[in-house]
Amino acid sequence: MRTLTRSHNRYLVILNRLPLSAVKNKGTETMRLRVAILTIAIAMFATPALSAPLDPAVAFPVKMQAFPLYGDGAIPNSKPGPDVETGADKGWIQNVSRPIIQVYLPARVKATGASVLIIPGGGYAGLTFDYEGVQQAQYFVDHGIAAFVLKYRLPSDATMLDKSIGPAQDAQQGLRFIRLHAKDWNLDPARVGAVGYSAGGHVASTLATHFQTTYIANPEELSLRPDFVVLVYPVISMDAKITHMDSRKALLGPSPSDAQVREFSNELQVTAQTPPTFLLHAADDQLVDIDNSIVFLEALRHAGVPVEARFFEKGQHGFPLLARDTWQKSIIDWLTADGWLSTRSK
């Protein structure tokens, strides 16, 4: 509490000098005046002292950093060839063969210790990197959540030995990267989630259901299971009845075997160990049928996995008809309610 200044004392002196006889002579008006002056004096007396200016190093987010996903090591499952990536300046990136990870850290004053691996979509033909990557990272950072945007390899027979596992490899390496560096950035390695959009939702749901299969070198034996998953208008299934066929063709080719279809239909791979999941989808999505989210919801529910969904009547694919705070805030609300933004007891 502040000490009294001369100004404060002046109000108290004025208050004390009002004669009681004035109350009798002037009635309620004088009494109201005394009460008003007393209120002002109390308010000024109770005003806390001004705090020192915040250190910019603590008050503002750290500048984005970008790292080769596999560091100086070889990219697994990769064929040699030129880098022909395009579109980085337009937010729609194609022909990715050199994966990277972008790191966005929140201001230290509001850092929660939680982090998310953000996986943009694009039908496995490209990456909607700006809208479903960078812009989403900035939203999470603003809420104290570290965000790691994955520029993953796009399935290609020209650049991969087995294109069906390339995106999953990069996603697992993304989780490994976060946990390897968790101590460096004051992150909790037990509060690392995956957030996937559209075909990136298929990558994220693959992470959530295939983590017992290690697609990458993991000498530290770090967990490759995300602690929670957020899937936004996701591709889940490879079943021809409900899948996004362009995503299926890009990942598995034009004539996949029944075994491949089953393996990458992630609703069929759910177990009791699948992480808690939050689903967002619009019923009028013309590109990725909402049945993808529904079958995953049902599989999770039957396996006893905590799951919550928010389905919108209208919103279409990418939610262009929805205000961002309508759907983005629901993610933060779910993370908060489930305790992912608070330190969890070991």
Say whether pLDDT at 305 is over 70.
yes
Closest CA to 285 of 263, 262, 307, 314: 314
Q: Is residue 11 included in any domain, yes or no?
A: yes
DSSP-derived secondary structure for 177-188: HHHHTTTTTT--
Let me know the angle formed at the C-alpha of 9 by 7 and 11, rounded to the nearest 5 degrees. Answer: 75
Residue 12 domain boundaries: 6-46
Over residues 170-188, the mean pLDDT reads 98
Same domain assignment for residues 242 and 202: yes
Q: How many domains does the chain have?
A: 2
Same domain assignment for residues 13 and 77: no
Same domain assignment for residues 123 and 41: no
Same domain assignment for residues 39 and 64: no
- pLDDT tier at 3, thresholds 50, 70, 90: very low
Same domain assignment for residues 34 and 121: no
- pLDDT tier at 60, thresholds 50, 70, 90: confident
Same domain assignment for residues 16 and 63: no
DSSP-derived secondary structure for 267-311: GGS--TTSPPEEEEEETT-SSS-THHHHHHHHHHHHHT--EEEEE
Rounded Cα gap, residues 259 and 152, in angstroms: 24
Q: Looking at residue 81, what DSSP letter applies?
A: -
Rounded Cα gap, residues 219 and 179, in angstroms: 13
Same domain assignment for residues 199 and 97: yes
Q: Is residue 155 included in any domain, yes or no?
A: yes
Same domain assignment for residues 79 and 38: no
**Phi and psi (nearest 5°) for 177?**
-60, -45
Same domain assignment for residues 204 and 319: yes
Same domain assignment for residues 291 and 248: yes
Q: What is the pLDDT of residue 260?
A: 98
Q: Is residue 343 included in any domain, yes or no?
A: no
Buried b / exposed e over 175-201, threshold 16 CB at 10 Å, is: bbbbbebbeebebbbebbbbbbbbbbb
245-293: pLDDT as tens digits? 999 999 999 999 999 999 999 999 999 999 999 999 999 999 999 999 9
Same domain assignment for residues 34 and 109: no
Question: Mean of the per-residue pLDDT values for the chain?
Answer: 89
Provide the percentage of residues in the chain whose pLDDT is more than 70.
84
CATH number of the domain enclosing 125:
3.40.50.1820
